[in-house]
Structures are given as structure tokens and as C-alpha cells.
Amino acid sequence: MSYIKDKRLWFSMLGIVVLGSLSGITINNPKKYYLSLELPFFAPPSWLFGPIWIVLYLMLGAALYFIWIDKSSKQRPLLLTLFIVQLVANLLWSFLFFNQKNILAALIDITILFLVLSLLQGFLFSVNRVTFFLLLPYYAWITFATALTYAIFFLN
């Protein structure tokens, strides 16, 4: 099967990018708010977030596709559920952090995201290594974003 020709791959990737973009464009002046906070020494520059998220959302879309097409896995319903839960938590974080300016709620949200993503990665390691490795950069970024959110919470 040629994955590149499968419309479900492109639908998954485009769908995740659109959801992420909608989440991003509903934020009211995130750069101004981000720069108004007391940031830790390891905080990246605000311009870096956009390009990173585009790449990560494309990878998330591809990961969703590989979970979706793996009909032989008995873990598929669980994997899809974990994927959706972590995606909702991901999209919710921006709203909580930037729109609501509620760092505590964003901290709780990203902690849940990290834990659910950790579970997803644990299951994927044993049943779908391609998807596991595809999500590793996202997992690394969420780990970093979790540490960053904790630091921002304690500094502010």
C-alpha cells in the first residue's frame, strides 16, 4: 500500500493542522502576553513556537493516520481514545494559558496531556513502533513545554 496516495493520510494531517491553527488564531495577542511574563532562562523566543507547531501537527496527523489504519491491533480503540484525549488537552492549553491567562489551569492541563501522552507512547512502543517514533519529537516538545509551564507558574 502506498501511504502517500492514501487520502486518509492527507485528511489526518490537514485536519490536525487546521485544528491547531484554529486554536492558534483564536488567541488574542499571545506574543505580548508571553513577553509580559517572567520567563525562565530556557524559554525559547516567541517566534519559534509557530514553525515548531506546524511540523509537530503534521507529525501528529501522520501518527493519527497510522493508528487509524492499523485495524489488526486490538489496542486500536484505546490508542485512538488516548490520542484524542491528548489532542483535546493540547488544544485546550493555548486557550487556558493565553485567552484565560490562567497559568494554574494550563499547568494542570499540560500535566494531564503529558501523562496521557506518556501512556499512549507506552502502548505504541509495544504495538506500533513507527507511530511511537513518529511521536517522539512531539513527546520531547510536550516534555519541554510541561517544564516551561511549571517554571512560568512558579515565576509568576
pLDDT in tens, 27-82: 777 888 999 999 999 999 989 998 999 999 999 999 998 998 888 889 999 999 99
Output the pLDDT for position 18.
82
7 pLDDT more than 90: no
Say which residue, 5 or 151, is predicted with more confidence. 151
C-alpha distances (whole Å) from 115 to each of 43, 70, 97, 111, 146 are 22, 23, 19, 6, 10
Q: Which CATH number fits domain 3-155: 2.60.120.10, 3.30.70.20, 1.20.1260.100, 3.20.20.80?
A: 1.20.1260.100
Tens of pLDDT, residues 100-120: 999 999 999 999 999 999 999
* Residue 142: φ, ψ to 5°: -65, -35
The type of residue at 99 is N
CA angle 93, 95, 98 (to 5 degrees): 95
Model-level pTM?
0.90
Chain-wide mean pLDDT for the chain?
92
Least confident of 12-21, 64-73, 121-130: 12-21
Output the pLDDT for position 82.
98
The C-alpha atoms of residue 66 and residue 80 are separated, in whole angstroms, by 10
